[in-house]
């Protein structure tokens, strides 16, 4: 499949060739034809899949082919709402790159800076507006922006938006859009509140789901610890004290949990930082920078906050809580073992998380060795009959023995904790 096969027009083709794109990515291949037909789209995909071009190219193509004249004035005909300033800037740059031979103009607005230069550009007129929610509403209220001519709206990283507490802003923005429009909605995960929100925004959407690369799981050395919930923090301290890892990313399912983990590490004399949606953008950026530069070696994060973390040579990922969505496990462990470097991912599994582990094993189609020789082993996790493990999940066919005593990988002597070369 090529971009020509997708019926992309010449000025855009020329620009994406200049960007060095030879082939559409899977999300582009699936989404572009849907969007060029003017249909609504629900996209389950994360940043890094080529998602931006998947919506930017059809938007540019539509605006170029369906030129409108508002007495020589430009009006905002496409609106992209995205949670962070960094993402907004990145999206604006993509529109500029792919649209450089089309004459279509975009601008980016976000909070935390003075509005003057943003309103100057808006006054001159743009066709496409990329915005974070707060500043968008602010400039609408001040009369600098009208959304009445918007033909295409994109809500990007919807789960991230909710995590950052933007849900009311989003609803207000949606209420200001014309009813007659094409709507696109992207989210990396689809928890019930996201599905609910998407229903409010989309008509009868086509759905595109891009699964994360499953092969990532194969490059990463994985192990699971059966442990009681109350012993998890002591087990974590034990692991981090036993060996020095240069960079450790610990995943917590909740924001509150992330803070608690960081506190228990602090008590044990292990310096760490926590990053999640309750922290301000500035605080998160500083935490991330410190981690990237190696000033802090241990970072505790929720799944959504961890999305911007791109650290070369991340030595160890710890799943302090197992994710209830199995794909999330792959996202998490993919943080280590990048660029073919072998990484290590250790998971703590308490009795309630057993069903999650089963779903993960089913998805990755691999066994995960169980570490038995640690001081906080909770044998009941391994031995509890299926019926006692809560919460129960339907369709989990896998027998407990497949990662228990009869697990072949143990007999091959893989039961020891995986080793790493990294030093702290």
Binding site for ligand AMP (CB under 6 A): 21, 23-25, 28, 47-53
With b meaning 16 or more CB within 10 Å and e meaning fewer, what string describes 155-191? bbbbbbbbbbebeebbeebbeebeeebbbbbbbbbbe
State the Cα–Cα distance between residues 350 and 237, nearest whole angstrom: 17
Shortest gap between Cβ of 345 and ligand AMP (angstroms)? 23
Q: Which two tokens stand for residue 227?
A: 């442990």
Q: Is 258 in contact with 233 (CB distance < 8 Å)?
A: no
List the 316-319 sheet strands across, edge first: 273-275, 298-301, 248-251, 316-319, 344-349, 221-226, 370-371
Which residue number, 45 or 63, has a Cβ lying nearer to ligand AMP? Answer: 45
Which residue number, 9 or 174, has a Cβ lying nearer to ligand AMP? Answer: 9
**Residues β-bridged to residue 386:** none
Which residue number, 84 or 319, has a Cβ lying nearer to ligand AMP? Answer: 84
Contact partners, residue 250, CB within 8 Å, separation at least 6: 236, 261, 272, 298, 299, 300, 301, 317, 318, 320
Which residue number, 52 or 247, has a Cβ lying nearer to ligand AMP? Answer: 52
Which residue number, 80 or 315, has a Cβ lying nearer to ligand AMP? Answer: 80
Residue nearest to ligand AMP (CB): 52
CA-wise closest residue to 119 among 108, 133, 128, 127: 108
The residue with tokens 């919930």 is 229
Cα angle vertex 166, ends 161, 167, to 5°? 95
Using DSSP, state whether 80 is helix, strand or coil.
Answer: strand
Shortest gap between Cβ of 49 and ligand AMP (angstroms)? 5
The CA dihedral of 306, 309, 312, 313, to the nearest 10 degrees, is -20
State the Cα–Cα distance between residues 89 and 286, nearest whole angstrom: 19
Which residue number, 24 or 343, has a Cβ lying nearer to ligand AMP? Answer: 24
Cα angle vertex 194, ends 192, 196, to 5°? 70
Which residue number, 23 or 146, has a Cβ lying nearer to ligand AMP? Answer: 23
Shortest gap between Cβ of 117 and ligand AMP (angstroms)? 25
Q: Is 183 in contact with 203 (CB distance < 8 Å)?
A: yes
Shortest gap between Cβ of 82 and ligand AMP (angstroms)? 11
Shortest gap between Cβ of 99 and ligand AMP (angstroms)? 14
Shortest gap between Cβ of 55 and ligand AMP (angstroms)? 9
Which residue number, 27 or 301, has a Cβ lying nearer to ligand AMP? Answer: 27
Q: Using CA of residue 399, residue 400, residue 403, residue 408, what is the dihedral sign?
A: negative
Which residue number, 13 or 53, has a Cβ lying nearer to ligand AMP? Answer: 53
Q: Which two tokens stand for residue 111?
A: 């909070």
Which residue number, 61 or 422, has a Cβ lying nearer to ligand AMP? Answer: 61
The residue with tokens 């280590």 is 336
Shortest gap between Cβ of 376 and ligand AMP (angstroms)? 40
């Amino acid at each position: 499949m090529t971009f020509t096969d997708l019926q992309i027009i010449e000025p855009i083709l020329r620009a994406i060739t200049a960007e060095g794109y030879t082939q559409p990515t899977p999300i582009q291949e699936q989404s572009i034809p849907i969007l060029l037909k003017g249909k609504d789209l629900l996209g389950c995909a994360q940043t890094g899949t080529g998602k931006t071009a998947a919506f930017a190219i059809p938007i540019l193509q539509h605006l170029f082919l369906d030129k409108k004249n508002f007495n020589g004035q430009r009006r905002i005909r496409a609106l992209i709402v995205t949670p962070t300033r960094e993402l907004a800037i990145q999206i604006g740059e993509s529109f500029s790159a792919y649209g450089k031979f089309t004459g279509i103009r975009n601008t980016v607005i976000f909070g935390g800076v003075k509005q003057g230069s943003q309103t100057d550009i808006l006054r001159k007129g743009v066709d496409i507006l990329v915005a974070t929610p707060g500043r968008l509403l602010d400039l609408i209220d001040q009369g600098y922006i009208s959304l009445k001519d918007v033909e295409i709206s994109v809500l990007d990283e919807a789960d991230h938006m909710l995590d950052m507490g933007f849900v009311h802003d989003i609803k207000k923005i949606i209420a200001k859009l014309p009813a007659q429009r094409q709507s696109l909605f992207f989210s990396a995960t689809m928890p019930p509140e996201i599905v609910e929100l998407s229903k409010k925004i989309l008509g009868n959407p086509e759905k595109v789901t891009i699964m994360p690369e499953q092969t990532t799981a194969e490059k990463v050395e994985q192990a699971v610890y059966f442990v009681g919930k109350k012993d998890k923090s002591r087990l974590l301290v034990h692991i981090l004290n036993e060996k020095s890892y240069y960079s450790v990313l610990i995943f917590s399912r909740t924001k509150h949990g992330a803070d608690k983990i960081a506190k228990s590490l602090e008590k044990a004399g292990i310096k760490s930082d926590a990053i999640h949606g309750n922290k301000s953008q500035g605080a998160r950026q500083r935490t991330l920078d410190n981690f990237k530069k190696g000033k802090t070696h241990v970072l505790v994060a929720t799944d959504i906050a961890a999305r911007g973390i791109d650290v070369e040579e991340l030595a160890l990922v710890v799943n302090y809580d197992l994710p209830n969505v199995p794909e999330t496990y792959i996202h998490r462990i993919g943080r280590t073992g990048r660029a073919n470097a072998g990484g290590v991912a250790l998971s703590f599994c308490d009795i309630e998380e057993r069903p999650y582990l089963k779903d993960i094993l089913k998805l990755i189609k691999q066994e995960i060795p169980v570490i038995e020789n640690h001081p906080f082993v909770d044998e009941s996790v391994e031995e509890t009959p299926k019926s006692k493990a809560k919460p129960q999940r339907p369709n989990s066919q896998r027998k407990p023995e497949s990662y228990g005593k009869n697990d072949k990988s143990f007999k091959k002597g893989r039961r020891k904790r995986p080793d790493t070369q990294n030093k702290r």
